Amino acid sequence: MTDAGSVGGPVADGDAGEAEGHRPRVVVLADDLIWATRLAGIVRATRAVPVAARRQEDVPIASAGAAGAVVDLTSRAYDGVAMVTELVSAGVPVICVAQHDDPDLRRRALAAGADRVLSYRALHERGAALLAGWPGPASGMQPDGTA
């Protein structure tokens, strides 16, 4: 993922054949560059435009007009559950990504309003399929929001 030069700007997108203005914007909140790049790629594969946010301060700017947000819960730069609460309060649907072996964090994110909490592995292996049709119901999801 490349930095678009300003917080909340679209992440560089190689598809020049389709106007970005007609595609939904999805915030990718992740402070780790590798995961931010992977998450942006998955968002891009769903035909949405990923918008980078790396810190709590970036979220209000990046989320303006966003159709949704993908939040990495394991950040050191922000409190992931607090970011879920903030985004959901602003009317932005949220999907989170977290370690599969942290059920408490996953439960807290769902309680804060996340639509789903996916493991890194599930998102890496089936990300675009799991996010297809989101925001809204998507196949492959359990009733508790996990993959």
For 58-114, the pLDDT digits (tens) are 888 888 889 999 999 999 999 999 999 999 999 999 999 998 888 999 999 999 999
Decide: 114 and 94 in contact? Cβ < 8 Å.
yes
pLDDT of 8 strictly over 60: no
For residues 100 and 75, the answer to whether their CB atoms sit within 8 Å is no
Q: Is the pTM of this model over 0.85?
A: no
- pLDDT at 6 (0 to 100): 36
Q: How far apart are CA 108 and CA 18, in angstroms?
A: 38
Alpha-carbon distances of 54 from 2, 58, 68, 140, 141, rounded to whole Å: 12, 7, 16, 28, 27
- Of residues 10 and 37, more confidently modeled: 37
Q: How far apart are CA 78 and CA 55, in angstroms?
A: 6
pLDDT at 4: 37
Percent of the chain surpassing pLDDT 70: 78
Mean residue pLDDT of the chain comes to 80
**What's the pLDDT at 128?**
84
Q: Following DSSP, what letter does each residue of the chain receive, concatenated?
A: ----SSTTPBPP---TTS-GGGS-EEEEE-SSHHHHHHHHHHHHHTT-EEEEE-SGGGHHHHHTT-SEEEEETT-SSS-HHHHHHHHHHTT--EEEEE-TT-HHHHHHHHHTT-SEEEEHHHHHHHHHHHHTT-SS--TT--TTSB-
- Enumerate domains of the chain plus CATH numbers: 20-131 (3.40.50.2300)
